[in-house]
Structure 1
Amino acid sequence: MRNLTEDQAFEAMVLFLEQFYERTKSDDVAVLLGQLIILEGGGTADPAVWHDWIECLHQVLNKE
């Protein structure tokens, strides 16, 4: 498997959540997906979400 950029990994996570939502119709997942929308000018609908995403990436990458 090849390495993903931050943006590609984020896109993969969103796709996973969208598919999960389609199966479950979970209101909580729907709210989260609304916060994850990438705006035209860049950034997410909820700016804190991107920061949280980067923090999680760092935790995973530094886990050794």
Structure 2
Amino acid sequence: MDEREAFVAMSRFLWQFANRVGDDLLTLLGDIGTEADGGTTDPAAWDDWLACVRSVVDAPEDPTA
């Protein structure tokens, strides 16, 4: 994954969060925090992130989809 693909994945992740929860930045920051064991505060946020990364990596010809 290059920098552009990472940026697109981040953008998708943020838009998905905003569409589901709203524009509550503090909730987002709480959800993506990491625990001492390396896991995220909200495991669903990690799953959402992985899905966004996969969507970009699996379709590099259309990084905005």
The interval holding the TM-score normalised by the smaller chain is 0.5 to 0.7
Q: TM-score, normalised by structure 1?
A: 0.56
- TM-score normalised by the chain length of structure 2: 0.55
Gaps of 5+ in 2: 15-22
Gaps of 5+ in 1: 18-26
For 1:43 and 1:59, the matched residues in 2 are separated by 22
Instruction: Give the equivalent residue in structure 2 for 1:44.
Output: 40
Q: Which is richer in helix?
A: 1
**Greater RCO (Cα-Cα under 8 Å, separation 6 or more):** 2
Segments of 4+ in structure 1 off by > 4 A?
none
Could you tell me the percent identity over the aligned residues? Answer: 45
